[in-house]
Structure 1
Amino acid sequence: MKALHGCRMGPIVAIAAVCALAGCGNQGGPANGAGTKEKETAAKPPEPVKLTMYNHFNNISDERLQQFIIEPLKQKLPHVTLEVVKHDKGSTIDELVAAKSFTDFYYGSNVGFPTYMNLQLQQDMSDVIKSRGLDLNRFDATYLDAIKSFGEKGEVYGVPFSANMGVLIYNKAIFDKFAVPYPKDGMTWDEVIDLGKRLTRTDGGVNYIGFDPGRVADVASGLSLPYADAKTVKALIDNDSWRNIFGMFKVAYEIPGYVNQGKYDYGANGFFKDKNVAMLPAWALQVVNNRAELAKMEWDMVSLPNFKENLGRGRSVDIHLLALSNVGKNREAAVEVLKVITSDEVQKLMSEYGTPSVLRSDDIKKVYGSKLPEFQGKNVQAPFKTKPGLPAITKYDGIVGTYVEAARKDIAAGGTDVNTIVRKVQDQANQKLAEQQK
């Protein structure tokens, strides 16, 4: 692999490179120092290998990078040096490509993968995965299908590393204060809204919000709805499914006391910091990342709600993956890295610390959150009680999604019916898409 010349790099994290001779040279050596030259050669450590990984939008934190990639590689592949290039000014994908210094690996989400493919950095890894013995049958088929959906002929452009799943998190103290029963697994959005209505009130100068539905995109994710048609480059919002979603938000926002002086978006801050939101749909990793605040609360979680006809389906597949770029030079060593970090041992460790595994193993799912003190006594299997759907991702989703989210303001303001809102989003998105094609 070429050195990363010609660009200003973001912060780089390095794995210790070379195994100490004292630690490696005695393995399998002949007794009393005797033996042939062949045996001495076999006892030598592997040649040092340098690999580089791009951390797209810094999708993996330094903490998880250290715990789930760096330390396992130090133990299993001490001859490998892995340098991690963070997404930063001077080290964006475009800048690295322009400087002809993109990395061996791409680390990012399936949602962000089209950005990578638009620059034609992907390569089919099927042959080297097979030759190096990386067993894809160990992975949850839904996560593999999400990656294969980017190919036209079943190409495998990457390997899943970690998953994220939706849950409904709730503040027990607010329920207890107003003597309202806690939510339960398997609820519909209508049931959650009705429950939240009983909690939305002002008491002691505090505006309590029973249920904030969050982002429109996250609710739509529970139906795996497409945003745009990649062939016609048109928005796909003007239909009954999207009308149902916007209608759900309208019902939630119209609860007396929900909209306060124009404020309708309470979100994570309302739940974790202000502690005036009783129920919030959240990502499992969002829950883990807010452990410090949760330690001060009485809380729990249940499975992610959905519309009645879609119960049991969670949010669309949201995974982090590693993809070998087509400028990488050491494909075999790269796949050996993938074998280590997707091993049962590492995936179990991730699960124990609250990162959902991408493997099929029920045993690994059962230990989810077991090493997090804040998760003790909680409904820790809630994320796995729904199955993720497979989204149809296009490079136009971000454009359409901007107008989808902006519609919440119109809904909160009141006075506009759902059909009008849907048509407005469709028209605005189509106009912007048409401008992009000129």
Structure 2
Amino acid sequence: MFWKAISFACLRLSNDIYSGGHIQLNKLRMASLSFIAIVTGTLVACSQGPSNDKDKAAPDASVPKANSTDYKGGAAELLVLDVNTGTTDEQFQKFFVEPVKAKHPQINLKKTVDTLDKLLAAGTAPDMVLVSNASLATMLEADIPEDLTQMFKTYGVNTAQLEPAVFQQLQKLGDQKALYGLPFYMNYGIMVHNRDIFDKFGVPYPKDVMTYEELLELGKKLTRSDGGTNYIGVMPPDLRQMYWQYGVPVFDKTKGKSSLTSDRHVQVFSLLKQFYSIPGYLDNGKHSHSVDLFFKEQRMAMYPNWVAAMVTFFDRAGTKDAFNWNVTAHPSYSDKQGLGKEVDFAIAVVNKSGKYREAAYQVLLSLYSQEVQTKFSKAGRLSVLKNDEIRKVYGEDSSVYKGKNLQSMFKVSPSPLPDSSKYDPKINALLIGEVVKSVMVDGTDINTALRNAEDKANKEIVIP
């Protein structure tokens, strides 16, 4: 089946579904992800790219370029740990093992099911780790990742071909000083809409690119009751995701405290409240809705989320051909137009203490070859390369998006993520749980709710 275990978007989706959580199915988290591929056989550095990529992206002419076919490291068996990218055993064979074996028969890859803690305790640290951008910090705390800046230069890897938001986030994760891995696929935000509902109420279909304000107005027109059926115009992202997309952090590293009461926090929350305040949106005092309203019951007109998540939801509901639906780009903020859902991608990390690092480099180079990136794209794992030809074949191995306006999603770019901290998950859980409910259901003032949440976070989450 096309997506048995989708994405590290999987971690992000666990809470993207309001009913308790943008994967676990009810906690599916796709969190979906954009990937560089520059090498096929002989790696050649590209001469094009933004000038701000030169520090770490452009090949160093003083360093001899290596050829991927010239690997002389001998026999090697690499232990690979997948932390949270959702790479299935079948995908591991198809995208990792087989392409590498075809070029370098002496390199073997073995995927482990053990945890990092167990491997480290046993003295068998992984040679490579597959991890989401959101969880790279965990690897850094374990002192695993090698800085691949020199490897990029040696092998002529030109990061100018990467989705810019992916490379910028990779630099940010290394404090602009190091590149702790190579991205190998990404997720991307889109919005699906039920055209049957639009037709039923005589409302024009959504434009390919819309602001949240425009989405709000459409949502108002389509949230209504008809013939005993209650329709929901749109389920917006949760507060955590809205903050991510706007670049608003929930922790101030300088002060060492949670940060929830700035004007920007209030601004974003106020916009979200307008969606919840649409007459008919709340259901008997409940502010959360299940994605089943769109995919199974066909009572929701619009739903923004990850492109990979939609495949899983349709697969679960078995309704992709049951109604007339289509795709647009993910909505943007009016003052940040052209920026959609937050950037999300998977990274292949090389253990800096690994015995077979040269062999690991060959695996990375294989992952980023156009051949493998194209295979990723066809299988529904979006390439990190900003390559129109590779993007055009996205999802070809699945029939879910066949005939749909899928390319519209690329009319916006991923939004940069705000600074993050180890406290973020618990603070975000507080936001999308208690805080939103207190405002939307109990009628608490936004400023008061955020101030109370900030105090609680500092007492119960940060200080301990």
Q: What is the TM-score of this pair, normalised by structure 2?
A: 0.78
> What's 1:417 paired with?
445
Residue aligning to 1:390: 416
Q: Are 1:144 and 1:159, in contact at CA under 8 Å, matched by a contact in 2? A: no
Closer/same/farther in 2, CA of residues 310 and 171 from structure 1, 3 Å limit: same
Q: Decide whether aligned partners of structure 1 residues 80 and 229 sit closer, same or farther in structure 2, where only a CA change above 3 A counts.
A: same
Give the counterpart of 2:254 among 226, 231, 234.
231
Could you say which residue in structure 1 is the equivalent of 2:43? none
Within the candidate set 164, 173, 182, 2:196 is matched to 173
Tell me the C-alpha RMSD between the 2 structures. Answer: 2.4
Pairing 1:164–2:187 present: yes
- Residue in structure 2 matching 1:286, options 277, 292, 309: 309
Inter-partner Cα distance in structure 2 for 1:248 and 1:98: 48
Moved more, 368-377 or 116-125: 368-377
| Deviation string, structure 1 residues 277-320 (Cα, Å, up to 9, x no partner) | 21111101112333434243321111111221111112222111
Which residue of 2 is the match for residue 355 of structure 1?
Answer: 381
Cα distance in 2 for partners of 1:64, 1:295 equals 27
Distance 1:133 1:48 in 2: 24
Is the CA contact 2:258–2:462 (under 8 Å) kept in the aligned structure 1? no
Letter in 2 for 1:328: G
Cα contact 1:129–1:335 (8 A) shared by 2: no
- CA distance in 2 between counterparts of 1:237 and 1:347 reads 40
Are residues 289 and 68 of structure 1, via their aligned partners in 2, closer, same or farther at CA, if it must alter by over 3 Å?
A: farther
The one-letter code matched in structure 2 to 1:358 is: V
- Equivalent in the alignment of 2:5: none
Q: Percent identity?
A: 33
Distance in 2, Cα, partners of 1:377 & 1:137? 31
1:330-345 equivalences under 5 Å are: 330-345=356-371
Alpha carbons 2:190, 2:409 under 8 Å: kept: yes
Q: Relative to structure 2, which stretch is displaced further, 311-320 or 331-340? A: 311-320
Q: How does 1:89-104 map to 2 (within 5 A)?
A: 91-104=114-127
Q: Which residue of 1 aligns with 2:214?
A: 191
Give the deviation of 1:63 after TM superposition.
Answer: 4.7
Distance 2:215 2:99 in 1: 42
- Equivalent position amino acid for 1:268 in 2: V
Alpha-carbon distance between aligned partners in 2 of 1:339 and 1:352, rounded to the nearest angstrom: 19
In the alignment, which residue of structure 1 is the partner of 2:50? none
CA contact (8 A) 1:132 1:336 kept: no
Structure 1 pair 270/143, CA: closer, same or farther in 2 (3 Å)?
A: same
Query: Contact (CA 8 Å) 1:109, 1:320: kept in 2 or not?
Result: yes
Deviation at 1:68, TM superposition (A): 2.8
Residues in 2 aligned to 1:381 and 1:285: alpha-carbon distance in whole angstroms: 14
State the AA in 2 paired with 1:107.
Answer: L
Shift of 1:371: 4.3
TM-aligned CA deviation for residue 340 of structure 1: 0.8
TM-score, normalisation: structure 1: 0.82
Q: State how far apart, in whole Å, the 1-side matches of 2:299 and 2:187 are.
A: 25
Q: What code does the residue aligned with 1:229 have?
A: D
Q: 1:56 aligns with which of 79, 83, 94?
A: 83
Cα distance per residue 1:85-109 (max 9 Å; x no partner): 23xxxx3323322333221111111
Counterpart for residue 221 of structure 1: 244
The structural deviation recorded for 1:213 is: 0.8
Letter of the structure 1 residue corresponding to residue 409 of structure 2:
P
Sort the Cα spacing of 1:48 and 1:306 in 2 relative to 1 into closer, same or farther, 3 A.
Answer: same
Question: Displacement, 1:69?
Answer: 2.6
In the alignment, does 2:346 pair up with 1:320? yes
C-alpha distance in structure 2 between counterparts of 1:327 and 1:258, whole Å = 54
Q: Distance in 2 between matches of 1:85 and 1:430?
A: 38
Q: 1:130–1:307: structure 2 CA closer, same or farther, 3 Å change rule? A: closer
> CA 1:98–1:403 in structure 2 vs 1: closer, same or farther (change >3 Å)?
same
Distance 1:230 1:103 in 2: 31
In the TM superposition, what are the counterparts of 1:101-140 in structure 2 within 5 Å? 101-140=124-163
Q: Give 1:209's aligned residue.
A: 232
Say if 1:428 and 1:366 are closer, same or farther in 2 by CA, change over 3 A: same
| Contact kept in structure 2, 1:161 and 1:357, CA below 8 Å | yes
| 1:136-167 deviation per Cα after TM superposition (whole angstroms, max 9, x unaligned) | 34323331221222224521110011111111
Question: 2:310 is aligned with what amino acid?
Answer: V
What amino acid maps onto 2:104 in structure 1? L
Relative to structure 1, is the Cα distance of residues 434 and 251 closer, same or farther in structure 2, using a 3 angstrom cutoff? same
Structure number with larger C-alpha Rg: 1
Measured in 2, the distance between the counterparts of 1:422 and 1:256 equals 24
Query: Which structure has the higher relative contact order (CA within 8 Å, separation 6+)?
Result: 2
- CA-CA distance at 1:370 after TM superposition: 4.0
Query: For residues 315 and 289 of structure 1, what CA distance do their matches in structure 2 show?
Result: 18
Matches within 5 A, 1:364-379: 364-379=390-405
**Shift of residue 110 of structure 1?**
0.6
Partner of 1:24 in structure 2?
none
Aligned partner of 1:32 in structure 2 is none
Partner amino acid, structure 2, of 1:65: F
1:381 correspondence with 2:430? no
Following superposition, the deviation at residue 260 of structure 1 comes to 1.0
Whole-angstrom distance in 1 between the partners of 2:144 and 2:371? 30
Question: In the comparison of the two structures, how many residue pairs are matched?
Answer: 390
Q: Which deviations, in whole Å up to 9, do the C-alpha atoms of 1:54-93 show, x marking residues without a partner?
A: 111353234543443334334333332211123xxxx332
269-278 vs 185-194, greater mean Cα deviation? 269-278
Q: Do 2:190 and 2:330's aligned partners in 1 also have CA atoms closer than 8 Å? A: yes
Q: Which residue of 2 aligns with 1:18?
A: none
Change (3 A) 1:52 1:135: farther
C-alpha separation between the residues in 2 aligned to 1:250 and 1:268?
19
Code of the residue aligned with 2:230 in structure 1: it is N
Q: How many angstroms apart in 2 are the aligned matches of 1:268 and 1:74?
A: 41
| 1:272 partnered with 2:295 | yes
Q: Which runs of 5+ in 2 are unaligned?
A: 1-68
Letter paired with 1:402: A
Is the 1:59–1:107 Cα contact (8 Å) retained in structure 2? no
- The letter for the 1-side match of 2:380 is G
C-alpha displacement of 1:250: 1.5
Task: Check the 8 A contact 2:144/2:353 in 1, yes or no.
Answer: yes
Which letter maps to 2:79?
T
Structure 1's unaligned 5+ residue stretches are 1-41
- The aligned counterpart of 2:283 is 260
